[in-house]
Structure formats: structure tokens, C-alpha cells
């Protein structure tokens, strides 16, 4: 009797285990759509590094009509988010604030070199709307002082090159911005407060090509003018 029941019990146990491990069909399916921005320049279509992800209700097959509708949408030259928002021929950037630092070292009595990094927060007018825009600048400048090193007051002029990265609404450092190379020039005054501390005033113009050319028909030069005061440590 026991020899007959044991195989039957083992078979039932294995059947229960198989049923427990069989996955059930999802009751509430989801799909993810990834949209990539494309623009038509001349006869070619250019894909940009602007991707957006959308979670849909239902499976991809259930949303087939939505996907086909997106794929049938025509790609028009310069047709983009900024134009659909009512942007004019030239997007208009506003004023803001700047935070940054500079490393300055003298290689002679009257001249020196400087490397600076700054973060600018300004605004960008897109048609009737205005939104915040970030900009990161990295620049080198050659400095020529009017008075020798060690003077209490040292006026100077400067000039150099670098690049600026622009981050309009909808973008960030992780998704990518628009980088333009250019040059900078300006003047300023350094004040020696003590043997270890100093102050300075700067007037600088950072000149680059206008960004967002892939999205809007903007050309020419952009002047980012800096008027700043700073505190320094001498070593």
C-alpha cells in the first residue's frame, strides 16, 4: 500500500511545484516609448542627442496606432520645440548672475596667466515665455599688468580663449547642451589687501558663436559680458 502511495504523492508534489513556478500573464502591461529629436537640414536628416522616454498604458501592440502616428509626422526644416513654442528668428538671452573661480600665476614682473571656470544663470526668452538657462564657461587669459608684481594696486588688460556650454530649458549636464568655442578679452584692477589676501574687479567679454543653431535659425556672435568683484588668496 505504501509503495503505491509514495509515487503518487511525489508526482502530486512535483506537479504543484511546476504550477507554482509557472509565471502568470501580466494583468496590467506597460510599454516605454523613446522619442528622438530629428531635424532636416537640406536633403539630409540629422538626429540630435535629445531623447525623451514615455511610459504608456498598455502594451506596445495596444499602442501601435500611437507609434505609427508619431512615425508619420513629417520632419520640417528647423521645426522643433523652440519654434512650436513661438520662438522668433533669434532666441533672446537675458541677464543673470555668475559664480566662479580663477587661478592666476605670474610668469614675469608685468605679465601672467589665468585659468577660470564659471557658472552663469540667466534667462532665455522663447516666444512670449521666459525660462531659466544655465551656462558653464572655461577660459584661459593672458594678463598684462600696468605695475610690477607686489604693487598695492595693479590695473591689467587680458585676452584669451575658451569655450561655453549652454543648457536651455529641457536640457542638463547629463543630457547634453550646446558647446561653442570662442575668445575673451577685458580689463580689471587687483588690490593687495594683505600679504595673503587680495581683491579684484573685472570687466570681461566672452565671445562665442550663437548656440541653438540646430533648433532655430540663429547666426552670428554672442557676447556674454561679465562685471564682477572677487576675493582672492595669495600664495
pLDDT (tens digit, 9 = 90+) per residue, 146-158? Answer: 999 989 999 999 9
Please indicate whether residue 38 or residue 164 has the higher confidence score (pLDDT): 164
φ, ψ of residue 176 in degrees (nearest 5): 105, 145
User: Is it the case that residue 119 has pLDDT exceeding 90?
Assistant: yes
Domain positions in the chain: 27-77, 92-233
Task: Work out the pLDDT band at 94, boundaries 50, 70, 90.
Answer: confident
DSSP code per residue over 153-164:
EEEEEEEEEEEE
Q: What is the per-residue pLDDT for 83?
A: 47
Q: Around Cβ 77, how many Cβ atoms within 10 Å?
A: 10
Of 193, 189, 183, residue with least CA distance to 202 = 189
Burial class (CB in 10 A: 0-12, 13-18, 19+), 152: exposed
Q: What is the DSSP letter of 140?
A: E
User: Is it the case that residue 214 has pLDDT exceeding 70?
Assistant: no
Q: What is the C-alpha to C-alpha distance for residues 205 and 187, in angstroms, rounded to an integer?
A: 9
Q: What is the per-residue pLDDT for 89?
A: 44
Among 30-39, 77-86, 99-108, name the most confident range.
99-108
Q: What is the DSSP letter of 25?
A: P
Q: What is the per-residue pLDDT for 24?
A: 43
pLDDT, tens digit, 9 for 90 and up, residues 42-84: 566 666 555 455 556 667 777 777 777 766 665 444 444 444 4
Q: What is the per-residue pLDDT for 213?
A: 61
Cell 540646430 found at: 214
Least confident window among 82-86, 140-144, 164-168, 222-226: 82-86
- Identify the bridge partners of residue 114 per DSSP, sorted by sequence position: 104, 141
Q: What is the per-residue pLDDT for 215?
A: 53
Please indicate whether residue 224 or residue 32 has the higher confidence score (pLDDT): 224
Q: What is the per-residue pLDDT for 173?
A: 77
E strand or H helix at 144: strand 129-145
Q: What integer is the mean pLDDT of 196-216?
A: 85
- Identify the bridge partners of residue 134 per DSSP, sorted by sequence position: 121, 167
| Topology of domain 92-233, CATH | Porin (2.40.160)
Indicate the pTM of the whole model. Answer: 0.59
Amino acid at each position: 500500500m505504501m509503495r503505491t502511495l509514495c509515487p503518487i504523492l511525489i508526482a502530486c508534489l512535483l506537479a504543484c511545484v511546476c504550477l507554482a513556478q509557472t509565471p502568470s500573464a501580466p494583468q496590467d502591461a506597460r510599454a516605454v516609448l523613446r522619442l528622438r529629436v530629428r531635424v532636416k537640414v537640406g536633403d539630409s536628416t540629422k538626429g540630435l542627442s535629445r531623447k525623451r522616454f514615455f511610459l504608456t498604458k498598455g502594451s506596445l501592440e495596444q499602442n501601435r496606432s500611437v507609434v505609427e502616428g508619431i512615425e508619420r509626422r513629417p520632419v520640417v526644416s528647423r521645426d522643433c520645440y523652440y519654434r512650436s513654442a513661438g520662438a522668433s528668428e533669434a532666441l533672446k538671452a537675458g541677464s543673470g548672475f555668475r559664480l566662479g573661480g580663477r587661478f592666476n600665476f605670474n610668469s614675469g614682473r608685468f605679465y601672467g596667466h589665468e585659468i577660470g571656470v564659471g557658472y552663469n544663470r540667466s534667462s532665455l526668452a522663447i516666444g512670449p515665455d521666459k525660462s531659466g538657462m544655465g551656462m558653464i564657461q572655461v577660459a584661459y587669459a593672458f594678463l598684462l599688468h600696468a605695475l610690477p608684481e607686489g604693487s598695492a594696486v595693479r590695473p591689467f588688460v587680458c585676452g584669451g580663449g575658451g569655450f561655453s556650454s549652454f543648457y536651455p530649458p529641457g536640457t542638463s549636464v547629463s543630457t547634453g547642451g550646446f558647446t561653442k568655442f570662442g575668445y575673451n578679452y577685458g580689463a580689471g584692477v587687483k588690490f593687495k589687501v594683505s600679504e595673503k589676501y587680495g581683491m579684484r574687479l573685472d570687466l570681461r567679454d566672452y565671445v562665442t558663436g550663437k548656440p541653438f543653431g540646430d533648433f532655430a535659425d540663429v547666426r552670428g556672435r554672442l557676447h556674454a559680458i561679465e562685471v564682477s568683484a572677487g576675493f582672492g588668496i595669495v600664495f
